[in-house]
Structure 1
Amino acid sequence: MTAGSIRRFLAGSGGIVVGTAVMNVCTFGFTIVAAGILDTASYGAFFALLNLLMVVSVVNMGLQATAARRIVADPGAVDVVERSILRVGYATSLAVGGALLVLSPAVTWLLQLDSVVPALVLAALAVPTTMMGAQVGILQGEKRWPELSWVYVLAGVPRIAGLALLWLHPGESVALFGSGLGYVAPVVLGWWVLRRPRHTHGTGPVTAEPVEDSSPWPVLREALHSAQALLAFFALANVDIVVARHVMGEHDSGLYAVGLLVAKIMLYLPQFVVIVMFPSLATAHERRRAVVRGTGAILALGAACTLGVVLLAGVAADLLRSEKLAAVAGHLWLFAVLGTLLSIIQLLVYATLARRGRFSIALVWLALAACVAAGATTSTPTGLLTVMISTSAVLTALLVATSLRADAGSVGSGDDGSVGGVVPAAPHTD
């Protein structure tokens, strides 16, 4: 491969693959190393806080999905859409951080924390986490892959400094703060590259006014609708650690958290698929093919990685000299299966948001309720893992069938009500 071809690869969607890989390696490397530094109880508390931050980040994801969809739908009014999204992003990030500050005593009780300090750190990190969503959505919608790649790189590398802090001062608060360093640098870069909005983008016509209403309130409403949909997904993906801390002892819930590292890696490893595919998911005549290709890519990657976990789990436990990892090594491949299923569900949820669907989101909420109800009856890590895999497998099958059926009529025909192959402004059912 020549230097020129490498540059072209990195300047395109290939840069997203590299950027998300760097982010995931640093993020999960931090979490894995933290498992060796913290005691079992502190690590369980840290992992629960991290999962709650992921749930809170649904607002981030809602802003991202809204920004990307609106820019794809209205490429002739990018500057108007950008300004509106950024205004909503700044206001929403402060509101989310303030709400978590007020709710910090409740968070302390929910996660059974020893003090309110970790909950306060959580509230502070929610501000840059939320703002990052608006910036990433704009870059994603405009397909500005090089800038977006650097945002993802900066979402990972600062966590290396966080490990140094954790080594000096072990504890769940420092661990959360060290991990959260990866949310600050990307926001600074995002502000820099978006300080002057683009005036036109893509092949769409240049319009004096946007096709969709891009004033703050409609944007906020769509972002909140997307956020509640993503809340259902991220609550489903993270509810098991909360259930574990209530139905198991500290030791068993800590071991379950160690196993969940593999599930989270498998959930976020194919993240580049969702990022690159979303503009196609937001275009009616490309959506069905994007769903099929995206699902196939995640399945292939998941199968390869699950095989790797089967072969290397014991070796990794020996190399890291981790008793906690050795205790769950025999079940790690099941966590890999769970993470793969959740990654496919994530792609299908974004496909639903791209077409403004509703029925599929109701299925995710029902699956969440089923996991909570069935999980509450378990008392062991294996029992809870069985509940999560079974529910996720059924949900995946239902979402695939629903998505393909909903998109079948729009292939090449635009009979979903779209204009020029772009999703309509008004939401519709699946």
Structure 2
Amino acid sequence: MTANVAGYLLQLLAGRWLGVAGFSEFASLLAVQLLCAVPALAMQNVVAREVVRGAGAAAVRAMQWRVAALVAVVAVVLIPVVSEVLDVGVWAAAAALGAAPALVVLSGEQGILQGGNQFRALAAVLAMAGTARVAPALLALALGGGAAGALWAGAAGIVGAAIVAGRIARSTVAQPIDDRGSEAKSVGVLPVLRAVQVQAALMALSSVDLIIVRIVLDEVDASRYSLGTIATKIAFWLPQAVGVVLYPRMAQPTHSARAIRDALSVLSLIGVVAVLGAALAAPLASLFAGEDYAPIQSMLWLFALHGAILAVLQGALLSAIAVERTALAAVTWVGLAIEITLMLTFARTIGALIGTAVSVAAVTTTIVAVTVLYTARNPRPA
């Protein structure tokens, strides 16, 4: 919650300081950065799963650095593409992509703590990392650094957080993880790549609207929509701890089915609370963000509903990674293609965009969740 609140504060203050004329660029670059964090999310899940299954710290760290190197190469290649597609400067695009390798390393260390059931230390790292990313970015915005300056400052904070997280993981999980056989049992990059496509589908589905909004809406409405997605992010990331805590149990065959049911039930309940909270708090939106954003306050509950549905989808896809049924992500990829097509073809207002996003997410999540629950009750033979 500390990390998430820091992230929401960054977007809220950026929306006020950059104004409706400049916030959509910053929000779109943050969406790109989130997509670039997909390998990092996959890294944490794969490392945690392998640690639960007995992999040594040396083996998972070797794999972590290989993936970070691959991500760095891809990030360099994507800089001119992002610059052209979003119509932003090369420096700003590089700022959005520059943090990706450090995020991979940071998430690898978090995975070691998660798989070792060291949740107190993991909580400290998550809060520290969120603060280290946001505080420098806010300072850069306050000093007039703009979107690019804020993103570069945040990237520097992530590098520092990765270094500190490594030290905490080594001191906390040095003994519980048995490194005596880690040289013989190496961890390959392929499991990460399979998990990446699952996380990529989820992150793309949760972020593609922020990219399309700059294509189909004018600058002012794009900024209003971008600010509305803060409610989406709150509902999406608020229950993240549910998956973090239950994931090691999902990776254990004897506890997997119960853990999956518990996760989806709790995520659904938290989603209902988040949507009700957004509806009740809607009148405060223009007070905090400014009167320019008043036109979206009546739709904040829809933005929160979008995030709540995606949170359930995230829980279902996490369970797919835990039990190595990553082919299930194909449903999400299909949903993403349908959403992009519908938005580019028909959506020309804020209401149409968020309505399309909610509808596609609801259908996709229903299919994935039903499939996951069915396979949990009827596991495949060993």
TM-score by length of 2: 0.93
Match of 2:44 in 1: 64
> Does the 8 A contact of 1:34 with 1:43 survive in 2?
yes
Match of 2:118 in 1: 144
Range that drifts further, 35-44 or 178-187: 178-187
Match of 1:272 in 2: 241
The CA RMSD over aligned residues, in Å, is 2.0
Instruction: Map 1:1-400 onto structure 2 (within 5 A).
Output: 21-74=1-54, 78=55, 80=56, 82-113=57-88, 115-158=89-132, 159-195=134-170, 198-201=174-177, 209=181, 214-216=185-187, 219-318=188-287, 320=288, 322-377=290-345, 378-400=347-369
> Does the 8 A contact of 2:36 with 2:100 survive in 1?
yes
Whole-Å separation in 2 of the counterparts to 1:403 and 1:222: 20
> Does the 8 A contact of 2:15 with 2:289 survive in 1?
no
Instruction: For 1:225, give the aligned amino acid.
Output: R
Whole-Å separation in 1 of the counterparts to 2:107 and 2:289: 37
Instruction: For 1:376, give the aligned amino acid.
Output: L
Of Structure 1 and Structure 2, the greater helix share is in 2
Match of 2:370 in 1: 401
Runs of 4+ in 1 over 6 A off after TM superposition: none
Whole-Å separation in 1 of the counterparts to 2:29 and 2:357: 20
> Does the 8 A contact of 1:98 with 1:123 survive in 2?
no
Whole-Å separation in 1 of the counterparts to 2:169 and 2:26: 33
> Does the 8 A contact of 2:58 with 2:179 survive in 1?
no
Whole-Å separation in 1 of the counterparts to 2:310 and 2:61: 30
Q: 1:91 to 1:209 in 2, by over 3 A?
A: closer
Tell me the secondary structure at the aligned position of residue 152 of structure 1.
helix
Whole-Å separation in 2 of the counterparts to 1:382 and 1:213: 56
Range that drifts further, 349-358 or 94-103: 94-103
> Does the 8 A contact of 2:95 with 2:155 survive in 1?
no
Deviations 1:331-387 (A, max 9, x none): 000000000000110111110011111442110111111111111111111111111
Instruction: For 1:244, give the aligned amino acid.
Output: V
Deviations 1:258-311 (A, max 9, x none): 111110111111110110010011112222222221122122222122212111
Whole-Å separation in 2 of the counterparts to 1:394 and 1:321: 32
Instruction: For 1:153, give the aligned amino acid.
Output: A
Whole-Å separation in 1 of the counterparts to 2:289 and 2:86: 28
Whole-Å separation in 1 of the counterparts to 2:129 and 2:160: 7
Range that drifts further, 321-330 or 230-239: 321-330
Query: How far apart are 1:241 and its partner, in Å?
Result: 1.1
TM-score by length of 1: 0.83
Structure 2: tracts of 5 or more residues without a match: none
> Does the 8 A contact of 1:282 with 1:355 survive in 2?
yes
Query: How far apart are 1:207 and its partner, in Å?
Result: 9.4
How many corresponding residue pairs? Answer: 379
Whole-Å separation in 2 of the counterparts to 1:29 and 1:146: 24
Query: How far apart are 1:232 and its partner, in Å?
Result: 0.9
Whole-Å separation in 2 of the counterparts to 1:117 and 1:257: 22
Instruction: For 2:174, give the aligned amino acid.
Output: R
Q: Identity across aligned pairs (percent)?
A: 25
> Does the 8 A contact of 1:162 with 1:181 survive in 2?
no
> Does the 8 A contact of 1:245 with 1:253 survive in 2?
yes
Range that drifts further, 400-409 or 334-343: 400-409
Query: How far apart are 1:49 and its partner, in Å?
Result: 0.8
